[in-house]
Amino acid sequence: APAPQPGRHLFSDPAEVEALRRDLLAWYDRCKRDLPWRALGGVGASAVSPALLPAVWVSEIMLQQTQVATVIDYYTRWMQKWPTLQALAQASLEEVNELWAGLGYYSRGKRLQEAARKVVSELAGRMPRRAEELQKLLPGVGRYTAGAIASISYGQATGVVDGNVIRVLCRLRCIGADSSSPAVIDRLWDMANVLVDRSRPGDFNQALMELGATVCVPKSPLCGECPVKQHCQAWRRKLFGKAPPVPDVEDCGVGDCPLCPPATEPWDSSLGVTNFPRKAAKKPPRVMRTATCVLERRGCHGAPEYLIVQRPSSGLLAGLWEFPSVPLAQDLQEGKEREELADHLQAWMGQPVAAKGLQFIGEVIHIFSHIHQTYVVYSLHLDGDVTLDPALSPSRWVTEDEFHASAVSTAMKKV
Ligand code: SF4
């Protein structure tokens, strides 16, 4: 049976919950950032005009793993191009990938569009409005995104938990157990659902996330300016050290509290509030090497053109375009990379490619979330034309401008 949950990690006093909501919302009204998806304020326009694509859906999907400053421009172009569910449903994957190029994690754009298609074709164009239905029915919509859409666009009083909220709640309630563990995440969801303001749920959720993004930041939080510091256990712990009124770790529960820091890693006073949250060490990223070749020819107007080929429609960077590339085995002998690449190009071009004709250009490192990728880059200039094997993946010749306008990843732009 789970250990009893000590009261210091909960919000059990209704008066405190009420005060925290009031303080946080008053701060949000004064200080919130002016972001395009907040332009309408309150419950979203999509609640009034159901054909519209909910702004928060697009922004939240784009904001996963991406900074606000980067997202603003992409968001604006996306909403201009596809303001309605119908318009997005009719877009091609190629158009979606082109607009998404540079944002990373390309499956996000693809699934957003698949979800819009599903709403139009299977749900009679009616967007689900409750978090449970959004999560169940729409591809790419997880618990967090469902809560954000339901509360911000449709006014459902349901909480959200993202990275910012995890940090704020762990600090507010001195939660020092591994914040990525399912047990802690479940408790945080319960807490978010208790805290969410019943009359302004969307604003409250945005306020909590905004606090994490601008005040309760990971490294040097601005506790002095924090609107909820009087409700924050970590801040009080820092101010008062080990003395009351905040009980020490030993006072919490029966010694094996599931939410306290492990006894082997107690409070470190040099870290202050940044003792929270804590995470188990991340797995190191997978190391990969890929040989890639920039094949160049003179185009009909004399300008250089480059061959790009399309990646498979599933997996990493699905459907994006890249220079012909081949993943290399980890234990490949030195000097064999060039031969591997020449063999790969030969299959493409249906004619022999001499390995020594490939000119080594350099190496490009790109970090995907879970992969440390090194591209070993070669180039090859072609004199005559080549006939590409149509049985292989789609391919095309592009000028440099066309390359940049195509659905290519940031990694390939670096190459
Ligand atoms: Fe975060 Fe400091 Fe505010 Fe606590 S007082 S919520 S640690 S910014």
172-201 residue pLDDT tens: 999 999 999 999 999 999 999 999 999 999
Predicted local confidence at residue 104, as pLDDT? 85
β-pairing, 395-398 vs 371-381, is unpaired
Instruction: Look up the domain containing 169 and give its range.
Output: 7-275
Instruction: Kindly give the parts of the chain with pLDDT less than 70.
Output: 1-6, 40-48, 241-255
In a domain, 178, yes or no: yes
Ligand 1 atom with the smallest distance to the CA of 273 is 7
Contact 79 CB / ligand 1 (< 6 Å): no
250 lies in the same domain as 393: no
pLDDT tens, residue by residue, 242-297: 544 444 544 465 457 888 888 788 888 889 999 999 988 778 889 999 999 999 99
303 lies in the same domain as 372: yes
Closest CA to 409 of 361, 348, 364, 344: 364
C-alpha pair distances (Å), 173 with each of 176, 198, 302, 321: 9, 21, 67, 47
> Which one of 16, 18, 60, 339 is the catalytic residue?
60
13 lies in the same domain as 110: yes
245 lies in the same domain as 327: no
C-alpha pair distances (Å), 37 with each of 54, 61, 384: 9, 12, 51
CA of 168 to the centre of ligand 1 (A): 7
CA of 177 to the centre of ligand 1 (A): 18
Please state the domain count of the chain: 2
DSSP SS3 for 327: strand
On whether the CB atoms of residues 284 and 369 are closer than 8 A, the answer is: no
Predicted local confidence at residue 300, as pLDDT? 79
Tell me the C-alpha distance between 409 and 415, whole Å. 10
Predicted local confidence at residue 43, as pLDDT? 63
CATH code (residue 376)? 3.90.79.10
Predicted local confidence at residue 332, as pLDDT? 85
Tell me the C-alpha distance between 1 and 211, whole Å. 35
CA of 155 to the centre of ligand 1 (A): 27
Nearest CA to ligand 1 atom 4: 232
Q: Name the amino acid, one letter, at 118.
A: K
61 lies in the same domain as 22: yes
- Catalytic site residue 210? no
Q: Is the pTM of this model over 0.85?
A: no
83 lies in the same domain as 44: yes
Predicted local confidence at residue 338, as pLDDT? 92
Predicted local confidence at residue 205, as pLDDT? 97
Predicted local confidence at residue 252, as pLDDT? 64
Q: Which two tokens stand for residue 385?
A: 């034309």
Contact 228 CB / ligand 1 (< 6 Å): yes
78 lies in the same domain as 139: yes
Which of left, alpha, beta for 255 (phi over 0: left; psi -120 to 50: alpha)? left
Q: What are the residues facing 378 on neighbouring strands? A: 293, 360
Q: Name the amino acid, one letter, at 167.
A: R
294 lies in the same domain as 188: no
In a domain, 415, yes or no: no
121 lies in the same domain as 208: yes
Predicted local confidence at residue 116, as pLDDT? 96
Closest CA to 325 of 366, 285, 286: 366
Contact 175 CB / ligand 1 (< 6 Å): no
CA of 227 to the centre of ligand 1 (A): 8
Predicted local confidence at residue 5, as pLDDT? 54
CATH code (residue 17)? 1.10.340.30
Q: For residue 262, what is the DSSP state?
A: P
Predicted local confidence at residue 142, as pLDDT? 94
Nearest CA to ligand 1 atom 2: 223
| Residue that is written with structure tokens 């609640």 in the block | 47
363 CB-near residues (< 8 Å, 6+ apart): 374, 375, 376, 377
C-alpha radius of gyration, the chain, whole number: 26
Tell me the C-alpha distance between 235 and 241, whole Å. 10
Predicted local confidence at residue 231, as pLDDT? 95
